[in-house]
């Protein structure tokens, strides 16, 4: 079935529907800003675009969170959905439709979908027994669990679940899905296809549990009370129901389906790459054209390590706060420019500020302000009619006019980082053109006025093309650029981004505010670090012991040993007499100890978590009979005991401080 295009080109793009189980963060922003930029670009190209986002509001996790807060699940999700919508409006997200899985029309459609799959024999009743991860709302088979027997996605412990349930048969679709993944360009990036086939299809696709009886916050299976539809059938259907599939709320299904792009992060790739196509095959509906999978935005802590963003660690980057400080477009630019399709990207305040300063303040912002200021200074704002072509003009034009085609290709491949890189090649070329043509020297010579006018006009034209192509990515700032360079609305179009000599010959510029002010790195970093540290401390204090346990996944237990084996380790109490950092190492401290046997020196990799003064005068525990070793050239006679902490750090074990030095620990 082909889209009914009504003589116009259509384009349908979706974000995942997000769980309203906590406030949105910079990770949610990434997918949404990326889809928004593509949607805006496609609109600019003349497509009739449908851009869908929304919230996935059912499931056990929401039910539990609402109960903890003492509100109904509906009240709970209503409150958080309002924050999501506020953020999207703040980030200038131009979605065309917002679906909530609690909307009546969606509920109606999902019930019909469930029944159709049942009537066709693809859904049957059985008993589910398996490993279930509550936070991820996912069942896993034994072979899929991680090396610690935990959830392969979030690495938290799983529970054994057994209950009557409906199942969706996957086997009939295995061959077609394998072909879809390996032989078409459905999955982007393609290299993930083989991994999916090896991990899930080759071992034999298992039937999918599609109903639950252990909680009630879900869409009821209308022909079997007590069962609610298991989240993935409910959630994935949203992409169709939002267009009016099996409901009468909307009537755009024939127009927009199949989707051109579903964009998701790798955590939910499996569901979109295998289960969703299988459901559509069973319903005899066309398959989406592309599934674009990106990596995680992790948080880079001050030791440079990447951490998962987690509310309970307090390291969740708040997009409202960043937008207030640096402007929404600078944030949009930064996250799009850093994230390569497929790979993870660590969010770092330093990288963000460097990026804003170098690309936006010094690169593009400076290009605009210098050009406008010179047009103002030398011609009172309005360029004269005289022109004189010169060296470098053609090279500037060629470079600027080559950008649109390259960006088109990147957009079609959902490679937004590359699209921005291509545009910034033209920004650099234009800045170089200023250095080459030296307009400040031309300005001193009355006989060079025509040449100066040409140089400034060419720069204004370059800025017009660049800002048009940047506008889908930075929709708030670019209209301010157009105002400054004197571009009329008709000058700013996709067609005109492929042409030069569009602005009127005697265009008038208007000096305006600085588009992207330079950020004082040191001051900002100190302030941002203080905010994060405060959040982390608050989050830690807020956690109940149970939650701390939930976050922390202990390392796997080592192989069993005998008491004799243990007896071989000689553990002793020792006093830290002095301590200093090992030169040339960020991680090592060198400790001088009183071990009750004349003293010794131990080197320990705890400098990231302890300053020397935290340890001096404290009693600790050492492995006293460990063979000496050299660390960074410094001899270590033994090691000190420390425990893993939930945030990936180490905590030194302090014994009773009254114990004498040399006391043996058994």
Say if residue 583 is exposed, middle or buried (CB neighbours under 10 Å; 0-12, 13-18, 19+).
Answer: exposed
CA distance 541 to 520: 32
CB of 59 vs ligand ME8, minimal distance in Å: 8
Should residue 265 be labelled a site residue for ligand ME8 when binding is judged by CB under 6 A?
Answer: yes
Interface residue with ligand ME8 among 27, 244, 323, 486 (CB under 6 A) is 27
Of 26-34, 417-425, 457-465, 619-627: span binding ligand ME8 (CB under 6 A): 26-34
Binders in 511-540 for ligand ME8, by CB under 6 A:
none
Q: What is the distance between the alpha carbons of residues 248 and 234, in angstroms, rounded to a whole number?
A: 18
Q: Name which position in 187, 205, 243, 264 contacts ligand ME8 (CB under 6 A).
A: 264
Q: Is 106 an interacting residue with respect to ligand ME8 (CB under 6 A)?
A: no
Closest to 573 (Cα-Cα) out of 640, 625, 635, 637 = 640
Which CB sits closer to ligand ME8, 27 or 327?
27
User: For residue 134, which of 221, 55, 64 has the smallest C-alpha distance?
Assistant: 64
Residue 140 or 500 having the CB closest to ligand ME8: 140
Contact between 155 and 553 under an 8 Å Cβ cutoff? The reply is yes
Select from 16-24, 102-110, 373-381, 601-609 the region that touches ligand ME8 (CB under 6 A).
16-24
Residue 326 CB contacts under 8 Å (≥ 6 apart), including other chains = 352, 353, 356, 519
Tell me the closest approach of the beta carbon of residue 507 to ligand ME8, in angstroms. 42
Cα 106 to Cα 54, 229, 241, 248, 284: the distances in Å are 12, 12, 6, 10, 19
Looking at 11, 19, 245, 326, which residue binds ligand ME8 (CB under 6 A)? 19
Rounded Cα distance between 292 and 37, Å, is 14
Residue 230 near ligand ME8 by CB under 6 A = no
CA 102, distance to chain mean position in Å, is 26
Tell which one of 39, 208, 229, 235 touches ligand ME8 (CB under 6 A): 235
Q: In the set 161, 174, 309, 525, which binds ligand ME8 (CB under 6 A)?
A: 309
Residue pair 26/319 in contact (Cβ under 8 Å)? The answer is yes
Point out which residues pair with 576 in neighbouring strands. Answer: 593
576 binds ligand ME8 (CB under 6 A): no
Nearer to ligand ME8, 253 or 433 (CB): 253
Residue 17 C-beta: closest distance to ligand ME8, Å: 5
Q: Which two tokens stand for residue 362?
A: 């010094």
Q: Is 469 in the site for ligand ME8 (CB under 6 A)?
A: no
**Nearest approach, Cβ of residue 366 and ligand ME8 (Å):** 31
Name residue, tokens 């069942």. 139
Contact status: 296 vs ligand ME8 (CB under 6 A): yes
Closer residue to ligand ME8 (CB): 31 or 437: 31
245 binds ligand ME8, rule: CB under 6 A = no
Name the region of 319 (left: φ>0; alpha: ψ -120 to 50; beta: rest): alpha
84 makes contact with ligand ME8 (CB under 6 A): no
β strands within 281-333, DSSP E = 290-294, 297-300, 306-307
CA distance linking residue 16 with residue 24, whole number of Å: 13
Q: With contact defined as beta carbons under 8 Å apart, do 460 and 509 qualify?
A: yes
Q: Which is nearer to ligand ME8, 259 or 582 (CB)?
A: 259
Q: Of 12-20, 431-439, 629-637, 645-653, which segment contacts ligand ME8 by CB under 6 A?
A: 12-20
33/652 with CB nearer ligand ME8: 33
Query: Of 297, 427, 574, 590, which lies in the binding site for ligand ME8, with binding defined by CB under 6 A?
Result: 297
Q: Is 292 a residue that touches ligand ME8 (CB under 6 A)? A: no
Residues 30-69: x/- map of binding to ligand ME8 (CB under 6 A)? xx------------------------x-------------
Q: End-to-end CA distance of the chain, in Å?
A: 74
CA distances from 238 to 209, 265, 435 (A): 18, 17, 53
Q: Which of residues 403-422 bind ligand ME8 (CB under 6 A)?
A: none
Using the minimum distance from each CB to ligand ME8, give the nearer residue, 83 or 661.
83
Q: What is the DSSP string of 385-403?
A: S-----TTHHHHHHHHHHH
For 337, phi then psi, to 5°, come to -75, -25
Alpha carbon distance 352, 334 (integer Å): 6
In the bound complex, what is the minimum distance in angstroms from residue 295's beta carbon to ligand ME8? Answer: 7
| Shortest Cβ 200–ligand ME8 spacing (Å) | 18
Q: Tell me the residue nearest to ligand ME8 as measured from the CB.
A: 27
Q: In whole angstroms, how close is the CB of 265 to ligand ME8 at the nearest point?
A: 3
Shortest distance, position 116 Cβ to ligand ME8, whole Å? 19
Smallest distance from the beta carbon of 119 to ligand ME8, in angstroms?
24
- Please check whether residue 608 is in contact with residue 586, taking contact to mean a CB–CB distance below 8 angstroms: yes
The DSSP bridge partners found for residue 129 are 162
Residue 178 makes contact with ligand ME8 by CB under 6 A: no
Q: Are 69 and 63 in contact (CB under 8 A)?
A: no
Q: How far is the CB of 304 from ligand ME8 (least distance, A)?
A: 18
Residue 661 contacts residue 595 (beta carbons within 8 Å): yes
> Least CB distance from residue 194 to ligand ME8, whole Å?
21
Contact region with ligand ME8 (CB under 6 A), list: 13-21, 572-580, 608-616, 620-628:
13-21
Catalogue the E-assigned strands of 141-260: 159-168, 187-188, 208-209, 211-212, 228-229
List Cβ neighbours of 136 (8 Å cut-off, separation of 6 or more): 151, 153, 154, 267
Please report how close the Cβ of residue 451 comes to ligand ME8 at its closest, in angstroms: 50
Distance CA 460, CA 508 (A): 10
- Residue with Cβ nearer ligand ME8 (24 or 323): 24
Count the residues in the chain: 666
Least Å from the CB of residue 314 to ligand ME8? 15
- List 12, 13, 28, 327, residue binding ligand ME8 (CB under 6 A): 28
Size of the residue set binding ligand ME8 (CB under 6 A): 19
Binding residues for ligand ME8, rule: CB under 6 A, are 16-19, 27-28, 30-31, 56, 235-236, 238, 264-265, 267-268, 296-297, 309
């Amino acid at each position: 079935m082909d889209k009914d295009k009504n003589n116009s080109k259509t384009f349908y793009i979706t974000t995942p529907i997000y769980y309203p189980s906590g406030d949105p963060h910079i990770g949610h922003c990434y997918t949404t800003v990326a889809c928004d930029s593509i949607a805006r670009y496609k609109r600019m190209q003349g497509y009739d675009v449908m851009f869908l986002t929304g919230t996935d509001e059912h499931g056990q996790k929401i039910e539990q969170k609402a109960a903890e807060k003492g509100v109904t699940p509906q009240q709970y999700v209503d409150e958080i959905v309002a924050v999501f919508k506020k953020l999207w409006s703040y980030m200038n997200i131009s979605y065309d439709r917002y679906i909530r899985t609690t909307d009546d029309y969606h509920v109606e459609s999902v019930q019909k979908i469930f029944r159709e799959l049942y009537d066709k024999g693809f859904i049957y009743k059985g008993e589910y027994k398996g490993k279930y991860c509550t936070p991820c709302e996912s069942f896993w088979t034994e072979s899929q669990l991680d090396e610690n027997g935990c959830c392969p996605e979030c690495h938290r412990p799983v529970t054994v679940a057994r209950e009557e349930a409906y199942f969706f048969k996957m086997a009939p679709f295995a061959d077609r899905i394998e072909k879809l993944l390996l032989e078409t360009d459905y999955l982007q990036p393609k290299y993930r296809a083989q991994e999916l086939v090896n991990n899930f299809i080759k071992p034999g696709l298992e039937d999918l549990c599609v109903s639950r009886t252990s909680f009630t916050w879900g869409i009821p299976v209308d022909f079997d009370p007590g069962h609610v539809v298991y989240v993935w059938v409910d959630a994935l259907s949203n992409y169709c129901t939002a267009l009016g599939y099996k409901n009468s709320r909307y009537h755009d299904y024939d127009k927009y389906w199949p989707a051109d792009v579903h964009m998701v992060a790798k955590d939910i790739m499996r569901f979109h790459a295998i289960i969703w196509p299988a459901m559509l095959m069973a319903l005899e509906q066309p398959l989406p054209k592309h599934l674009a999978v990106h990596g995680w935005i992790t948080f880079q802590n001050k030791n440079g390590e990447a951490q998962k963003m987690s509310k309970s660690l307090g390291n969740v980057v708040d997009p409202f706060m960043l937008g207030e400080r640096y402007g929404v477009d600078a944030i949009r630019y930064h996250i799009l420019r850093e994230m390569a399709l497929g790979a993870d990207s660590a969010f770092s305040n330093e990288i963000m500020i460097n990026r804003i300063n170098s690309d936006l303040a010094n690169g593009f912002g400076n290009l605009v302000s210098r050009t406008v200021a010179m047009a103002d200074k030398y011609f009172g704002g309005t360029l004269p009619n005289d022109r004189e072509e010169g060296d470098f003009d053609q090279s500037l034009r060629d470079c600027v006019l080559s950008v649109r085609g390259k960006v088109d290709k990147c957009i079609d491949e959902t490679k937004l980082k590359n699209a921005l890189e291509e545009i910034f090649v033209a920004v650099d070329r234009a800045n170089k053109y200023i250095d080459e043509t030296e307009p400040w020297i031309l300005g001193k010579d009355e006989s060079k006025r025509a040449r100066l006018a040409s140089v400034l006009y060419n720069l204004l034209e370059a800025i017009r093309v660049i800002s048009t192509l940047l506008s889908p990515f930075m929709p708030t700032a670019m209209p301010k650029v157009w105002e400054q360079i004197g571009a009329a609305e008709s000058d700013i179009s996709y067609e005109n981004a492929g042409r030069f000599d569009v602005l009127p010959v005697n265009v008038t510029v208007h000096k305006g505010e600085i588009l992207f002010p330079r950020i004082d790195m040191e001051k900002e970093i100190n302030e941002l670090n203080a905010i994060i540290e405060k959040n982390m401390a608050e989050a830690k204090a807020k956690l109940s012991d149970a939650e701390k346990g939930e976050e922390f996944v202990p390392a796997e237990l080592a192989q069993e040993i005998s008491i004799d084996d243990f007896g071989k380790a000689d553990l002793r109490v020792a006093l830290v007499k002095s301590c200093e950092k090992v030169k040339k190492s960020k991680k090592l401290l060198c400790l001088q100890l009183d071990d009750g046997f004349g003293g010794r020196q131990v080197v320990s990799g705890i400098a990231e978590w302890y300053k020397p003064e935290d340890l001096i005068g404290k009693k600790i525990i050492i492995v006293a009979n460990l063979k000496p070793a050299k660390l960074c050239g410094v001899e270590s006679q033994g090691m000190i005991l420390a425990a893993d902490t939930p945030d990936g750090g180490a905590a030194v074990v302090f014994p009773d401080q009254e114990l004498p030095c040399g006391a043996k620990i058994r």
